[in-house]
């Protein structure tokens, strides 16, 4: 039950973040979506042990979080559950791959340790990039960008409708579970005899609501088109944002920035 | 089962994006052909419902743990596989963006692992055949549990394959699969029972609401005719056989490779009268030995052999299909 309340809070906080009107929020959504995808592709294309190269890619989330006034703590909070899964899968690497790579005093760093560290870095960077996107772009703007990328209208409309009714449904689920828990104290979840009626009633009400929604939408002239609302920076600035980040990230992917910087001090 | 971005490399992610996009394209076409505009908001609200319902904890008797319903199967049973698949894509995209549940780059993998198997394999291979003779409570129970178990097993195995091909873990394939499959077997059973309970309630309250698998007339219209299908298949086979065969690898195939490793040679020597006769017969009948002209090593020989081979395979398929049709007619 606490999970539902937390999910509602998360949605509201992300909505508020995306509507703040910072410079990053005012960049065209298509540019932000494309840069995010480009960043993810480049980060995931690094070799499993290339930590020095990967560290260079930290520039993107660090710069955008500082300039876009996005909380690092919240971003890290989102990374936590992902790190757990990645750790479970990556934990095997130090066990199976014990080839020594370097020695720090008496401690030997193995190839498996490096690959696990790289895996964790990749997971952290990927979640941060997605968080930056959603914290600076509203869901309507993402839908607009998806339409610009020629994603079918049906799919985008369904996506937007799910998002719009999500809070409503979550609140309903929260009310139902709260009412149930008040009537059956001490129970950890919904008991077997109530599985069907409880979720089934909710489902039937949802279908009825869907029909009402459809009628009101069509009466108001909805034809599945999306319009961009809000003030944005001039188009050329958004293009510059996309091209600049695209180029810088590619440079960071091809040139080991950290390694070169290290050589300056340790020739 | 949501995969994070870190678990896949761009090549695997791209391949799965293409596969999922193809399934989504097909679903969009089918939904458009059905021409039921009122279904669109139903898809949206149902998607939000599944999302919310998955956050309700259903207590599993005797275990002390809890489970939730299976989204793909529930959506397929109510909306049909095509609309259900598109709705699942929406859910997965929101989970990925809003809750960091699954990565943006791994979205193609997640759509395939959870939506594709849940909606298409569950809907067409399990739900529809079982509901053909009419919907009953017992059949809903059987279909829901079987579909959830099977599709979850397929999804879990896909996760193992995608991670394995990405090469990000040193975990041996058998160990990874050995861990993933049993866990998802238990999850599938629980999810199946919860989904069945919900669907049984819906069946009793509004029996006409569940998808029976009967193709709507528009859906039938959307199907390609036998002639069209054959033409497309022939063209595709010709393109692959004629053009792509030029890039065929000169490296040994899997069997040859294994033989080379074990016996030290890719072609085993065979001696004896029977082998000689068989070799002579093969030499006389083979039009294009070693996939080329016997008199030249040109690339044209490889292309022609590809085209002839493709034509022969298609011809054989047609003959088999007609033979099956003939025998089925004879039976009825």
Contact B44 A11 (CB under 8 A): no
Contact flag B44-A157 (C-beta cutoff 8 Å):
yes
Q: What angle do CA A97, B176, B13 make, to 5 degrees?
A: 90
Q: What is the structure's pLDDT at B258?
A: 40
Please indicate whether, in this complex, the C-beta atoms of A155 and B28 are within 8 angstroms of each other.
yes
The predicted pLDDT at position B248 comes to 45
Are B80 and B40 spatial neighbours (Cβ–Cβ below 8 Å)?
A: no
Longest dimension (CA), chain A: 74
- A77-87 residue pLDDT tens: 877 777 777 88
Cβ of B292: how many Cβ atoms within 10 Å?
17
pLDDT (0 to 100) of residue B275:
57
Distances (CA, A) of B32 to A122, A154, A197, A214, B40: 39, 8, 33, 17, 10
- Helix B81-99 to helix A111-136 angle, to the nearest 10 degrees? 100
Highest mean pLDDT among A133-147, A200-214, B36-50, B278-292: A133-147
d(CA A194, CA A173): 14
pLDDT confidence of B52, banded at 50, 70, 90?
Answer: confident
Contacts of B55 in chain A (CB under 8 A): 3-4, 7, 170, 173
Alpha-carbon gap: B69 to the closest alpha carbon of chain A (Å) = 9
Q: How would residue B254 be classed by pLDDT, with cut points 50, 70 and 90?
A: very low
- The two three-digit tokens of residue A80, written as one number: 């936590």
Label residue B26 by pLDDT band (50, 70, 90): very high
Mutation site, B2, B6, B61, interface A, largest A CB count within 10 A: B6
DSSP-derived letter for residue B58 is E
Q: Minimal CA–CA distance to B199: which of B127, B251, B151, B247?
A: B127
Minimal Cα–Cα distance from B86 to chain A, Å?
6
What residues of chain B, 155 to 184, have a C-beta less than 8 Å from chain A?
Answer: 163, 167-172, 175-176
The DSSP output letter for B246 is G
Look at B87 and A204 and tell me if their CB atoms are within 8 Å.
no
The dihedral formed by the CA atoms of B163, B164, B168 and B172, expressed in degrees to the nearest 10 = 120
Confidence of residue B67 (pLDDT cuts 50, 70, 90): low
Determine if the pTM surpasses 0.80: no
Report pLDDT for B246. Answer: 47
Contacts of residues A145-154 at CB distance under 8 Å and 24 or more positions apart, as own/partner, are A145/A29, A145/A30, A145/A32, A145/A33, A146/A33, A147/A226, A148/A30, A149/A30, A149/A33, A152/B24, A152/B25, A152/B28, A153/A224, A153/A225, A154/A224, A154/B28, A154/B31, A154/B32, A154/B40, A154/B86
Question: Tokens standing for B292?
Answer: 């080329």
Confidence band, pLDDT 50/70/90 cuts, at residue B108: very high
Answer yes or no: is pLDDT of B115 > 70: yes
Picking from A86, A155, A157, the nearest residue to B24 by CB comes out as A155
Contacts of B146 (CB under 8 A, 6+ apart): B126, B130, B192
- C-beta atoms surrounding B289 within 10 Å: 12
pLDDT at A9: 87
B155 pLDDT band, cuts 50/70/90, is very high
Q: Which of B28, B55, B176 sits opposite A152 (nearest CB)?
A: B28
Per-residue pLDDT, B85: 94
Residue A169's contacts (CB-CB under 8 Å, 6 or more residues apart) are: A206, B45, B48, B49, B51, B52, B53
Alpha carbon distance A32, A27 (integer Å): 7
pLDDT at B244: 45
pLDDT at position B247 over 50: no
Give the sign of the dihedral formed by CA B19, CA B23, CA B26, CA B32: negative
Taking 50 as the threshold, does the pLDDT of residue A232 lie above it? Answer: yes
Q: What confidence score (pLDDT) does residue B262 get?
A: 44
CB A222 within 8 A of CB A37: no
Look at the alpha carbons of A124, A127, A132, A135 in this order and tell me if their dihedral is positive or negative: negative
Please state the length of chain B: 332
Q: Give percent above pLDDT 90 in chain B.
A: 25
B78–A188 C-beta distance less than 8 A? no
- Tell me A228's DSSP state: -
What's the pLDDT at B221? 47
pLDDT at B219 over 80: no
Contacts of A92 in chain B (CB under 8 A): 169-171, 175
* pLDDT score for A7: 85
- Give the residue with greater pLDDT, A106 vs A134: A134
Kindly provide the b/e burial profile for residues B11-38, where b requires at least 16 CB atoms within 10 angstroms of the residue's own CB: ebbebbbeebeebbeebbebbebbeeee
CB spacing of B42 vs A210 below 8 angstroms: yes
Beta strand B66-67 pairing with B58-59: antiparallel
45-64 of B, contacting A, C-beta below 8 A: 45-49, 51-53, 55-61, 64
A chain contacts of residue B61, beta-carbon cutoff 8 Å: 191-192
Nearest-CA distance B27 → chain A (Å): 10
pLDDT in tens, B116-132: 999 999 999 999 999 88
- Examine the pLDDT at B312 and tell me if it is beyond 90: no
A213 vs B7, B28, B41: nearest CB: B41
Check pLDDT > 70 for residue A57.
Answer: yes
- Nearest C-alpha neighbor of A17 from the set A133, A128, A123: A133
Across all residues in chain A, what is the average pLDDT?
84
Among the partner residues B57, B94, B100, nearest to A127 by beta-carbon distance: B100
Q: From the candidates A48, A162, A169, A208, which should be mutated to test the interface with B, based on the most B CB atoms within 10 A?
A: A162
Residue B133 scores a pLDDT above 70? yes
Interface contact flag, A44 B66, Cβ < 8 Å: no
Q: Which residues of B touch A40 (CB under 8 A)?
A: 5, 103-105
Instruction: Kindly report the nearest CA distance between residue B127 and chain A, in angstroms.
Output: 19
State residue B141's pLDDT score: 92
């Amino acid at each position: 039950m606490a999970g539902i309340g937390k999910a509602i809070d998360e949605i509201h906080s992300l909505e508020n973040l995306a509507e703040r009107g910072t410079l990053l929020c005012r960049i065209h959504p298509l540019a932000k979506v494309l840069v995010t995808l480009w960043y993810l592709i480049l980060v995931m294309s690094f070799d499993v042990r290339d930590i020095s190269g990967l560290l260079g890619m930290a520039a993107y989330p660090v710069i955008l979080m500082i300039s876009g006034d996005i909380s690092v703590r919240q971003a890290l909070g989102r990374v936590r559950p992902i790190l757990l899964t990645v750790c479970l899968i990556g934990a095997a690497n130090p066990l199976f791959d014990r080839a020594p790579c370097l020695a720090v005093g008496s401690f030997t760093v193995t190839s498996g340790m490096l690959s696990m560290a790289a895996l964790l870095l990749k997971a952290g960077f990927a979640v941060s990039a997605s968080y930056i996107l959603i914290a600076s772009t509203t869901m309507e703007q993402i839908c607009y960008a998806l339409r610009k990328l020629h994603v079918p209208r049906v799919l985008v409309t369904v996506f937007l409708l799910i998002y719009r009714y999500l809070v409503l449904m979550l609140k309903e689920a929260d009310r139902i579970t709260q009412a149930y828990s008040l009537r059956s104290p001490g129970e950890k979840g919904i008991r077997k005899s109530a599985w069907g009626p409880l979720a089934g009633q909710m489902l039937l009400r949802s279908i009825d609501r869907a029909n009402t929604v459809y009628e009101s939408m069509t009466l108001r002239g909805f034809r599945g088109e999306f319009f961009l609302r809000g003030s944005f920076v001039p188009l050329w600035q958004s293009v510059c944002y996309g091209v600049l980040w695209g180029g810088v990230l590619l440079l960071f992917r091809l040139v080991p920035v950290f390694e070169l910087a290290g050589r300056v001090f340790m020739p | 089962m949501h995969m994070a971005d870190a678990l896949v490399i761009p090549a695997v992610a791209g391949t799965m994006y293409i596969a999922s996009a193809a399934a989504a394209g097909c679903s969009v076409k089918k939904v458009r052909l059905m021409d039921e505009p009122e279904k669109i908001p139903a898809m949206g609200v149902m998607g939000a419902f599944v999302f919310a319902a998955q956050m309700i904890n259903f207590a599993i008797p005797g275990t002390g743990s809890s489970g939730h319903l299976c989204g793909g199967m529930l959506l397929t049973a109510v909306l049909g596989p095509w609309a259900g698949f598109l709705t699942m894509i929406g859910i997965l995209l929101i989970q990925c963006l809003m809750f960091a549940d699954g990565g943006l780059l791994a979205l193609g993998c997640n759509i395939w692992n959870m939506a594709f198997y849940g909606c298409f394999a569950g809907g067409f291979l399990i739900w529809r055949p079982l509901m053909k003779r009419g919907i009953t409570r017992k059949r809903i129970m059987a279909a829901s549990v079987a579909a959830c178990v099977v599709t979850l097993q397929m999804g879990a195995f896909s996760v193992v394959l995608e991670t394995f091909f990405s090469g990000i873990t040193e975990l041996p394939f058998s160990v990874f699969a050995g861990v993933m499959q049993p866990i998802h077997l238990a999850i599938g059973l629980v999810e199946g029972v919860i989904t069945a309970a919900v669907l049984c309630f819906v069946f009793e309250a509004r029996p006409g609401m569940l998808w029976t698998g009967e193709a709507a007339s528009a859906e039938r219209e959307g199907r390609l005719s036998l002639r069209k299908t054959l033409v497309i298949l022939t063209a595709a086979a010709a393109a692959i056989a004629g053009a792509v065969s030029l890039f065929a690898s000169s490296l040994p195939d899997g069997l040859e490779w294994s033989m080379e490793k074990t016996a030290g040679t890719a072609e085993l020597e065979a001696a004896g009268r029977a082998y000689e006769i068989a070799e002579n017969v093969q030499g006389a009948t083979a039009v294009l030995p070693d996939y080329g002209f016997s008199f030249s090593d040109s690339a044209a020989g490889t292309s022609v052999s590809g085209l002839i081979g493709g034509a022969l395979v298609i011809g054989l398929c047609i003959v088999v299909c007609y033979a099956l049709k003939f025998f089925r007619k004879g039976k009825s």
